[in-house]
Amino acid sequence: MIIDVLYFAWLRERIGVNREQITTSAKTVTELIEELAAIDEGHALAFADLKSLRVALDQQMARFDSSLANTREVAFFPPMTGG
Amino acid sequence: MIIDVLYFAWLRERIGVNREQITTSAKTVTELIEELAAIDEGHALAFADLKSLRVALDQQMARFDSSLANTREVAFFPPMTGG
Amino acid sequence: MRLSVQESAFDLGAETKAFANGAAGAGAIVTFTGLVRDNSGQVLGMEIEHYPGMTERAISDMMDEAQARFALTDALVIHRFGVLAPAEAIMMVATAASHRSDAFAAAEFLMDYLKSRAPFWKKELGPDGQTWVKAKEEDEAALTRW
Amino acid sequence: MRLSVQESAFDLGAETKAFANGAAGAGAIVTFTGLVRDNSGQVLGMEIEHYPGMTERAISDMMDEAQARFALTDALVIHRFGVLAPAEAIMMVATAASHRSDAFAAAEFLMDYLKSRAPFWKKELGPDGQTWVKAKEEDEAALTRW
């Protein structure tokens, strides 16, 4: 399955791109994170502290144990600071 | 002692004037109300229900048992409805 | 801090903009505006009576109290008297603070006190005559939270 | 109800006035405006990143929720992204209702959710570099009151 992975804020800066296409057989967000963290040092650093990480699946907030079935777009970012 | 007595809203309408000068020896607001209520039917009606009456002495909110010593201006009115 | 008790209409947009422009350093601005409700033609207008002198004194005291309780950098109160048409602005409050919780709390505090402790009396002008607006128990009760 | 996520500046006065003019029948209007704080030259500006698409979707959901919970007659949210100078308006919320308690509660509800659930990330541009603004625990905690 091919998934668009998006990064925002300091995750984007650590990884160096704001978007990448990943071919994966990960079933959950946690499995996808394990694959992404293995790509290179920037990815490893970005995914080092999961407590300060949030995830959205197809633009809806999700959890690390959420299933990736039928997901086309996964976004990772730090806690939001809008308003 | 001479006191300016002011009336607002429906008290003013019942009494027919917005201000009158009263010569009185009343020591408290309650004593003054007794004198005012005896003036005529309009005054009696205006002071019939003390629960819906508020009083200010020299433009500061006061109570019916407040002393009138050194007071120059007494105002009677219904509960406020500003904002 | 600015207070204006006035008969003339005010421009909500211009007042809000001027207040924000003057609030340098603040991070949060809250405004409240009270309008004459337009209940599908049942209200032809509103007449507001006030107690000149005491009105200014009472509202100034409220503004001082709001500034003491909350970390306000600025505050504004405009309140009209006289005859108003439906949908016209009766009054506005604006508060500026570093943080939103102070700006919100101060605006609500000022509104609760203006409702029940500023010497204004509203009369609704309807198709069947004029009616003095009754004070609401919930407005008096709202003061107990401060 | 209107939502705008935009890069360009907005005119707080004009937006507030237009919102009030469109709020026929309402008795109470509350606005909140968030400004870039100007801490005596320590902040040179702010850069706001967002997640196009999800931002609009998340805020629309919040506005629907606010309208369902409170008796709103209208609501407006404007939120900027991109580079902002000190004292510029970052965003505004406006709510209209018959009664002030609903207008205040809905504005605070929307602000609490915008702070922690709308995909925006702020970076402060200071004299010594750029710093991502940290989410505050109190902002996350504020959501528990709704």
CA distance D68 to D61: 11
Instruction: Name the average pLDDT for chain A.
Output: 97
pLDDT tens-digit profile of A51-80? 999 999 999 999 999 999 999 999 999 999
Q: Which residues of B touch C (CB under 8 A)?
A: 6, 8-10, 12, 56, 59-61, 75, 77-83
> Does position D42 have pLDDT exceeding 90, yes or no?
no
Question: What is the pLDDT confidence band of residue D38, given thresholds at 50, 70 and 90?
Answer: confident
Task: Summarize the confidence of residues B8-25 as an average pLDDT.
Answer: 97
Cβ pair D135:A78 closer than 8 A: yes
* C87 near D CB under 8 A: yes
Task: Summarize the confidence of residues C95-119 as an average pLDDT.
Answer: 97
Question: What is the pLDDT confidence band of residue C122, given thresholds at 50, 70 and 90?
Answer: very high
Measure CB to CB from residue D34 to each of C12, C28, C111 and give the nearest one: C28
pLDDT tens-digit profile of D55-114? 999 999 999 999 999 999 999 999 999 999 999 999 999 999 999 999 999 999 999 999
Minimal Cα–Cα distance from D76 to chain A, Å? 13
Of the CA atoms within 13 Å of residue D31, those in its CB half-sphere come to 33
Task: Summarize the confidence of residues C45-64 as an average pLDDT.
Answer: 97
Kindly report the backbone phi and psi dihedral angles of residue D35, in degrees, each rounded to the nearest multiple of 5, phi listed first. Answer: -110, 150
- Is residue D96 within 8 A of residue D55, CB to CB? The reply is no
Measure CB to CB from residue D121 to each of A59, A61, A77 and give the nearest one: A77
Could you give the strand order of the β-sheet that contains C129-132, starting from the edge strand earlier in sequence?
A: C82-84, C45-50, C120-126, C129-132
The CATH code of the domain that includes D114 is 3.90.1170.40
> Which of B31-45, C27-41, C101-115, D55-69 shows the lowest mean pLDDT across its residues?
C27-41
Cβ pair C35:D12 closer than 8 A: no
Measure CB to CB from residue A83 to each of D34, D51, D53 and give the nearest one: D34
Number of domains forming the structure of chain C: 1
Cβ pair C17:D20 closer than 8 A: no
Question: What is the pLDDT confidence band of residue C118, given thresholds at 50, 70 and 90?
Answer: very high
Minimal Cα–Cα distance from D111 to chain C, Å? 9
Pairing relationship of beta strands C120-126 and C45-50 according to DSSP bridges: antiparallel
Q: In chain C, what residues touch B6 (CB-CB under 8 Å)?
A: 51
Q: In chain D, what residues touch C38 (CB-CB under 8 Å)?
A: 24-25
Q: To the nearest whole percent, how much of chain A has pLDDT over 70? A: 100
Chain A, nearest residue to D89 by Cα: A83
Element (H, E) at C121: strand C120-126
Measure CB to CB from residue D30 to each of C12, C32, C98 and give the nearest one: C32
Domains of chain B (ranges; CATH) run 2-77 (3.10.20.30)
> Does position C121 have pLDDT exceeding 70, yes or no?
yes
Domain that residue D40 falls in: 2-143
Chains C and B touch (3+ CB pairs under 8 A): yes
pLDDT tens-digit profile of A11-23? 999 999 999 999 9
Burial of D53 (0-12, 13-18, 19+ CB in 10 A): middle
> Does position C127 have pLDDT exceeding 90, yes or no?
no
> Which of B1-15, D66-80, D132-146 shows the lowest mean pLDDT across its residues?
D132-146
pLDDT value for C40: 67
Question: What is the pLDDT confidence band of residue B12, given thresholds at 50, 70 and 90?
Answer: very high
Cβ pair B82:C119 closer than 8 A: yes
